[in-house]
């Protein structure tokens, strides 16, 4: 049996207020917080990158 598409959608004031509040909450969140949340969820713990070459290779002596 084929279904018809809805002929009318009712948008109530409560729906628009809820949409605006959720939209504001998402705008307030910053990208690093979201990235930290995702990293925590998947169990990833980023390590700081070493800044200089001796820290990368240690003290190599020939």
Residue 49 belongs to a domain? no
Residue 36 belongs to a domain? yes
Show the domain range for 20: 15-44
Contact 39, 46 (CB under 8 A): yes
Walk along the chain (62 residues) and give the pLDDT tens digit of each residue. Answer: 788 887 888 899 999 999 999 888 887 776 677 788 888 889 988 777 666 666 656 666 65
Residue 51 belongs to a domain? no
Residue 60 belongs to a domain? no
Residue 50 belongs to a domain? no
Q: Which residues contact 46 (CB under 8 A, 6 or more apart)?
A: 39
Domain count for the chain: 1
Residue 57 belongs to a domain? no
Residue 20 belongs to a domain? yes
Instruction: Note the pLDDT of residue 60.
Output: 61
Instruction: Note the pLDDT of residue 28.
Output: 79
Residue 22 belongs to a domain? yes
């Amino acid at each position: 049996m084929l279904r018809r598409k809805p002929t009318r959608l009712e948008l109530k004031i409560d729906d628009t207020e809820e949409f605006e509040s959720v939209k504001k909450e998402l705008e307030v969140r910053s990208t690093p917080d979201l990235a930290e949340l995702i990293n925590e969820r998947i169990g990833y713990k980023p390590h700081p990158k070493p800044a200089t070459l001796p820290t990368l290779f240690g003290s190599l002596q020939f």
